[in-house]
């Protein structure tokens, strides 16, 4: 049972480039979410989904897009990378009450 799998683990981008962070879960959880973690700021919700075909914005959605075509996958797209998006990104899934129960190990993203 893999849980929540994030790829890649590390990535360096140049300003203006686009990329997709992958997230997959094998627990059949309806709820999935993306967070960014910055020093001294805890985790902030970017986008979340309560099921296939349903997504919504979190606290800091600007500059990011998501889609949920299947229950298992919830990719996060950076449209045009900016240095302010340098962060550690975590994907999470949950079964109950839209609570993030299981987290991936994170993607460390640097924008130059």
Partner 1 sequence: AQSVTQLDSQVPVFEEAPVELRCNYSSSVSVYLFWYVQYPNQGLQLLLKYLSGSTLVKGINGFEAEFNKSQTSFHLRKPSVHISDTAEYFCAVSDRGTGNQFYFGTGTSLTVIP
For partner 1, the binding residues (CB under 8 A) are 4, 33, 35, 40-45, 48, 50, 56, 58-59, 90, 92, 97-106
Minimum gap (Å) between residue 83 Cβ and partner 1: 22
Closer by beta carbon to partner 1, 80 or else 98:
98
Minimum gap (Å) between residue 31 Cβ and partner 1: 10
Distance CA 15, CA 82 (A): 5
Distance CA 35, CA 33 (A): 7
Closest-CA residue to 89 (of 2, 30, 9): 9
């Amino acid at each position: 049972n893999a849980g929540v799998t994030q790829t890649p683990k590390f990535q360096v981008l140049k300003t203006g480039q686009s990329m997709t962070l992958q997230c997959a879960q094998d627990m059949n959880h309806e709820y999935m979410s993306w967070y960014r973690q910055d020093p001294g700021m805890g985790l902030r919700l970017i986008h979340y989904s309560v099921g296939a075909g349903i997504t919504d914005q979190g606290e800091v959605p600007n500059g990011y897009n998501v889609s949920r075509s299947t229950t298992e996958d919830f990719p996060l797209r950076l449209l045009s990378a900016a240095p302010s998006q340098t962060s550690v990104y975590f994907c999470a899934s949950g079964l109950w009450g839209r609570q993030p129960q299981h987290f991936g190990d994170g993607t460390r993203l640097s924008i130059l």
